[in-house]
Amino acid sequence: MSNKGFLPVCKADLQERGIKQLDFVYVLGDAYIDHPSFGAAIIGRVLEYNGFTVGILSQPDFRNPDSVLALGIPKLAFLVSSGNMDSMVNHYYVSKKRRTKDAYTPGGEVGKRPDRAVIVYCNMIRKHCKDIPIIIGGIEASLRRLAHYDYWSDSFRRSILLESGADLVSYGMGEKSIVEIADALNAGIPVKDITYIPGTVYKRKVLKDDFAEAIFLPSYDEMLANKKKYGESFLIQSQNTDPINGLTLIEKYSEHCYIIQNPPALPLSEKEMDEIYHLPYMRAIHPSYHALGGVPAIEEVRFSLTSNRGCFGSCNFCSLAFHQGRIVQVRSHDSLIEEAKQIIDMPDFKGYIHDVGGPTANFRHTACKNQLKTGACKNKKCLFPAPCKNLDADHSDYIALLRKLRGLKKVKKVFVRSGVRFDYLLADKDDAFLKELVEHHISGQLKVAPEHVSDKVLDKMGKPRHEVYKRFVAKYEKYNKELKKNQFLVPYFMSSHPGSTLKDAVALAEYIRDTGYIPEQVQDYYPTPSTMSTVMYYTEIDPRDGKPVYVAKNPHEKALQRALIQYSNPENYDLVKEALEKCGRKDLIGFGEKCLIRPRKLAKEKSATQKTKDNAYTKKNVSKKPKNNINTRKTYSDEKKASGKDRDNGRKRKR
C-alpha cells in the first residue's frame, strides 16, 4: 500500500509532498492508524480538510528528547495525545502490575510509550521549544483537565495543564475546538489570548476577564486539605458537562495561578457527523507496521460501524458523560450505509459487520426533545434511579438502520456487540427491537452489564435496580424460546466498587450459583480519573448526598470479593472460604445444592485414612511396589471437561 494516502509520518513524506514546514505536528502515544475509530486520525483529517498541514509523530523515543523534532518544528503548534487510552490504564492492571501487551503498539509490544505520556511528551517539546504553543487533548488530558485523584500514585494531583507545561487543553471529542484553535493561531492570535473557545481549558496568572457567571470551585489547597471539598468540586463539574447550560469553572492554585474551564463545545449535528466520517481515511494501519506484526487494535473495528457518540446512561464509574457528554449525536443512515459498502469492498470481508453502535448501541437520538433546547438536566439523570417521564424510549430509527444494513448485498449478518442498555430497552413500550435483536443481531451470546445484584451497590454505581435486569432476562429468554434460538446472555459483573462489602459480594456469588453462569472474566473496580465512583473511592463519601461510603481498598479484601464471583475456580478456594467465614456464611460451605464450596477438611481426613491403609498394605506386600504414584484428586481442568464446554467459555447455561 502506498504511503501517499496517509498523513505524513517522516521527512521523506514531507519532501514528497513539497511541505517545508508543517502547520501542526501531532505527537501521539499510539501507533498511527488512519481509521475514524481513532481520535488522532479524526483530528488530523479534520485539520487537513480545513486547509492545514498535519504530520503524525507516533510513539517518539521518550528516552531521547530530540526524537520530538523528527518532523521539525511546526509553524502553528504541537498537538499532544497519549492515544485512544489513558497511558496509565494502558500500562497497568488494577493491581498496578504491568500489562504484558499493548494493543495500540505494533506487534502488541509494551514499553513504546511512557507512563503519563502527555506530561512526558510536553516536557520533551519544552526542552527544545520554549515558546511554541502546545495543545493537549484525548482521553488522558480530557479527564485530567482539573485537579483530580490519581490512583497509581495514590495522590491528589494538579491540572495536567500545569504538570505538562502545555498552553491549552482541548477536552471532549475536540473536532470543533481544534479548528477554532487552528484558525486563531493562523490569524496570528497569541495562544495566551485564546481564552474564548468552548471545549477548552486555559491558565491565567491574574483574573482580568469578567467572570460574573462563572463558578469558583474549591481551591486546590482546600481540596488537598479536605477530601470532602473535592467531592463538592466534582459534583459541580459533573453538573456542568452540558454545552447548553454548562458554566465556566475556575480552579485556584495560588494568587498567581488559575485554571479556567470553558463550557463544552456544542454537539455535532448529523450533517457534521457525516462530514467527519466521510473524510478520506485509509481505514488501515500505516504500512510501516506490517513488518512489525501489525497493530492489534485495528482488528476490533475493521468491520464495525460507529453510529453514535455521547451517552445519557451516565454510570458513575464511567467517564463517557464527562468526556463525550450526555447529548447523543448520530450519523445518518446514508452515511453508515456508504461506509458499510466500503467495508464490503475490502478484500478480506467475510460477510459479517461486527458492530453498529457506539458507547451505547441502542441510543440513536437524544434522551428527550428538551435536551437540544435547554440541555441535559443538571440534577437529574435520564435513566437513574428510574427512566425519566420525559424519556423518549424509541428504537424505530435503529431498527430501520439495521434492516437496511442487513439487506445489503454480500452481508450475511449484522451484529450488535457494543453495549445495549437494557433499562432503556425495557422503557420502550414496543418490543420490536428486542425481537429483532434476538432474531438477527446476536452472535450466539449477548453481552450486557448489570454489574451487580445488590441494590445498595447499584445505587452507588448509578445503575438500575436488580429487578430491572431480572425483567430483561425474562423477556430475553421468552423471545429466544419463541424464535427457537439457543442464545446466551453474558453479564458483566464488577467487584469492589465503592459501597460493596463482602456480604454484597456473597449475594452476587449466590446469584451466579443460582443462574448457573460461570464468569470467565471479572472486572475489579478500577478508579480512573474524573468519575463519580473514583471520587467515592478517594473520599469515601458520596458527593451526591455527602454520606459516608464503604470502600474496599485493602488488596486482600479486593481479592476476596473478586474470588467470590469466581468461586468455582479451585484456585480461589482459600479466599472464598475465608470470605464466607468472615461473613458468617459457613452455611455455604458443604455438600448441599446451595453451597458454594465443599469442606476441604473432610477431604484431608479421608486422605489421611487412605494413607494409613496404604502404609499397612505396603508393609504387608513389600515386594509389590506400585508402578505409578498418581494423584487422583480431580483438578480444575478435569471439572471443566466433566461439566461441558460452557463451564469454561463464560456462557450462561440454558435455564
Residue 338: is its pLDDT beyond 60? Answer: yes
CA distances from 424 to 421, 464, 472, 640 (A): 6, 10, 10, 36
Q: What is the pLDDT of residues 568-602, one digit of tens each?
A: 999 999 999 999 999 999 999 999 999 999 998 65
Asked whether the beta carbons of 561 and 502 are under 8 A apart, the reply is yes
Burial label, 190 (beta-carbon count in 10 A; 0-12, 13-18, 19+): exposed
CA distances from 206 to 27, 163, 189, 220, 254 (A): 30, 19, 19, 16, 10
Report domain extents, the chain.
11-200, 270-497, 600-647
pLDDT of residue 630: 27
Three-state secondary-structure class, residue 190: coil
pLDDT of residue 205: 93
270-497 placed in CATH 3.30.450: no
Distance CA 322, CA 242 (A): 9
- Cα–Cα nearest to 22, from 60, 71, 57, 69: 71
Residues 6+ apart with CB under 8 A from 578: 560
Residue 643: is its pLDDT beyond 50? Answer: no
Residue 413: is its pLDDT beyond 70? Answer: yes
In the chain, pLDDT over 90 holds for what percent of residues?
87
CB atoms near residue 44 (< 10 Å): 27
Residue 418 pLDDT level (bands cut at 50, 70, 90): confident
Q: What is the pLDDT of residues 453-489, one digit of tens each?
A: 999 999 999 999 999 999 999 999 999 999 999 999 9
Tallying the residues shown for the chain, one arrives at 655
Q: Find residue 309's DSSP bridge partners.
A: 329
Asked whether the beta carbons of 54 and 48 are under 8 A apart, the reply is yes
pLDDT of residue 90: 97
Residues 6+ apart with CB under 8 A from 358: 306, 307, 308, 309, 310, 418
Burial 162-186 (b: 16+ CB within 10 A, else e): eebebbbbbbbbbbbbbbbbbebbe
> Which range in 46-50, 379-383, 512-516 is most confidently predicted, on average pLDDT?
46-50
For range 46-64, the mean pLDDT = 98
pLDDT of residue 419: 84
- Cα–Cα nearest to 113, from 70, 80, 69: 80
Residue 631: is its pLDDT beyond 90? Answer: no
Asked whether the beta carbons of 184 and 176 are under 8 A apart, the reply is no
Residue 608 pLDDT level (bands cut at 50, 70, 90): low
Crossing angle of helices 270-277 and 333-344, in 10° steps, is 20
pLDDT of residue 116: 98
Distance CA 431, CA 212 (A): 49
**Cell numbers of 648, please?**
469454561
Residue 12: is its pLDDT beyond 90? Answer: yes
Distance CA 327, CA 273 (A): 14
CA distances from 99 to 60, 84, 87, 242 (A): 20, 16, 11, 35
Q: What torsion do the CA atoms of 184, 188, 194, 196 make, to the nearest 10 degrees?
A: -50
pLDDT of residue 321: 86
pLDDT of residue 604: 52
Residue 218: is its pLDDT beyond 50? Answer: yes
CA distances from 542 to 531, 536, 537, 539 (A): 12, 5, 9, 8
Residues 6+ apart with CB under 8 A from 81: 26, 27, 28, 29, 39, 40, 118, 136, 137, 138, 140, 141
Residues 6+ apart with CB under 8 A from 114: 62, 87, 120, 121
pLDDT of residue 212: 84
3-state secondary structure 385-440: CCCCCCCCCCCHHHHHHHHHHHCCCCCCEECCCCCCCHHHHHHCCCCHHHHHHHHH
Q: What is the pLDDT of residues 343-380, one digit of tens each?
A: 999 999 999 999 999 999 999 999 999 998 999 999 89
Asked whether the beta carbons of 506 and 467 are under 8 A apart, the reply is no
pLDDT of residue 522: 85
CB atoms near residue 79 (< 10 Å): 30
pLDDT of residue 210: 75
Q: What angle do CA 257, 43, 330 make, to 5 degrees?
A: 105
Residue 76: is its pLDDT beyond 80? Answer: yes
pLDDT of residue 28: 98
Q: What is the pLDDT of residues 220-261, one digit of tens each?
A: 999 999 999 999 999 999 999 999 999 999 999 999 999 999
3-state secondary structure 618-651: HHHCCCCCCCCCCCCCCCHHHHHHHHCHHHCCCC
- Ramachandran region, residue 641 (left: φ > 0; alpha: ψ -120 to 50; beta: rest): alpha
Residue 72 pLDDT level (bands cut at 50, 70, 90): very high
**Cell numbers of 436, please?**
429483532
In the chain, pLDDT over 70 holds for what percent of residues?
91
For range 430-440, the mean pLDDT = 97
For range 491-495, the mean pLDDT = 95
**Chain mean pLDDT for the chain:** 91
Fold of 11-200: Rossmann fold (3.40.50)
CB atoms near residue 369 (< 10 Å): 11
For range 52-61, the mean pLDDT = 98
- Cα–Cα nearest to 382, from 424, 418, 420: 424
Burial 408-429 (b: 16+ CB within 10 A, else e): eeebeebbbbbbbbbbbbbbbe
Residue 655: is its pLDDT beyond 80? Answer: no
Q: What is the pLDDT of residues 297-317, one digit of tens each?
A: 999 999 999 999 999 999 999
pLDDT of residue 3: 59
pLDDT of residue 211: 87
pLDDT of residue 653: 33
Sign of CA dihedral 184, 189, 191, 196: negative
Q: What is the pLDDT of residues 179-210, one digit of tens each?
A: 999 999 999 999 999 999 999 999 999 997 77
**Cell numbers of 467, please?**
429487578
